[in-house]
Structure 1
């Protein structure tokens, strides 16, 4: 992996952006560190958005000096921000599995329609995950058993080949442990950057506790009878939400009465702006305002997936969202969602003691 660090002595120079593109073309870096840019804030973002990197972190300048930028390509490295000051940027960096971005490119390369690309990617990613990783827990047990056998053999009959095999198995075990950590951290939905590295037992317990707390084993129906069968519970909850969000009114008359001086109103400029087409910047800003690994929709894709592979998938996302604003209709595949019931009280027994999200 190539990383370039450059003291540019000012990023507002006319040749700066061309110089960056030339460096990328000749050295193909995954990350670029630019020092003494002397530019911060929104102006820094405007410049980095035009450079051949899809992610960036900026620091503020110190008067007319300083300004540190870290830029990277999200399809090649995973960068987790840790801390930032005016003079320092602290991050953790992990190399991506280079085969996975190819799955994304292949799915989005055949069509630009979001629904068909997501369906193809989901199928291909499932196959890739099974072939590439398999069962992480079974792999961990298998590697640990082999490592234990090698270490016992080393104690009885030391040899160079066994030492090399032990090193290879240790590297493989470290990789599997990292995968296990990421799996449980994702399932537990807690901030692993705060809680420390490879705290797998904590993540595992967090996941199990949350699942038990949120599990609905039985509910009382409207006449006070207990429902135990999963299919009946699902039907009862679905009917309740269908009634909640259904109305018998076919139309409603718009009545605009006189406005009071204290009433909030839109200016002519604000009102006119509502008719303007949605921009790429607005769509991207809305996407990046979502936490990366919050609960995904029925397609299983987190917001972090679209953020990380924006350079590949962004075009189809923008096209679909613009179409929604133009037609004033949301397609059925985008309107699908998972309803999760969050208990409002301890040990709830009725449908109305849950909050639907």
Structure 2
């Protein structure tokens, strides 16, 4: 077996095809590794499809550099199937194979492009039969990979799948494969659920949207909602009532938007799997962009919660549960999701749950040797999540306070001090 490695310094060079063809004819390599191709994506696949090999893998370029192609002939895939088949008689344990096999079993696994190679299909089937594997089937869109090309060159294939032997199947009778919504990659995520109770429900909707300030029209909305000469309490009441409507009609709920977009993408991708439609392809592209924007907003909310937590001193003022902010900071990778979900729920319900609203009141001496009640001042030790919520609220309100509070008010606004009244007097 021969393996050819070549740093081609650009696969678009006019001499690339001539040189590679000469190398293949001269040395008959079973595997070819080409580096520095400087070509990625669909363009790379178009080139490798024209080469005399049965399979190919591509590593995308970085800017205008990099790029790796690995090409192989059927004999090497035959060796893989042979190795898998040789493992099966060595044990009687439960066995699951899950992944991108880059092979198909029937013409129904592909829509568009060149027809299947019967010899490759038969080799794959023989391997699965030797291993005693059964296809686990799937729920969702039929295909797991698309080439993202225009109508006429659009190809869909079912490459990602799961197989299991009878021992594994008896252990997990309700296990099922779910093809999830394809949003970023050309492959869709594949979920294996051991108990087939359907997909998990997403977070409920909530009335207060964390990322209002990221919307380009929010500043104009605030200006229209608030009266310059109105009292603070009326401004706040009017703003609260208006912003709930604005959130639903203009901005939309992040989690609800995400849920709706996933549902629409799932439906569109299922329809595309049954037949191509230019309108649906364009709509899918548009919805995938919107989905990316929603994910970005979700990420910004995570950062907002994290900033609020990290603004607290690690080992000061623990809450009633005795836990400092430092615990959540040190173990953020483990508890971060729980903290973010708890904060989301507070904004969603517009209510602080009783267990978070509990406060430990303690007395701090005003000076050493304090011996009477008047010599102490009370402080409240609030729950850490309670503090994070208030930090977020303060951060969001701060940019609007100068416009909401009368210019005659000299406290609670950055740059204004009570001393100003004495100077004016």
TM-score normalized by structure 2?
0.29
Structure number with the bigger relative contact order (C-alpha 8 A, sep ≥ 6) is 1
TM-score normalized by structure 1?
0.34
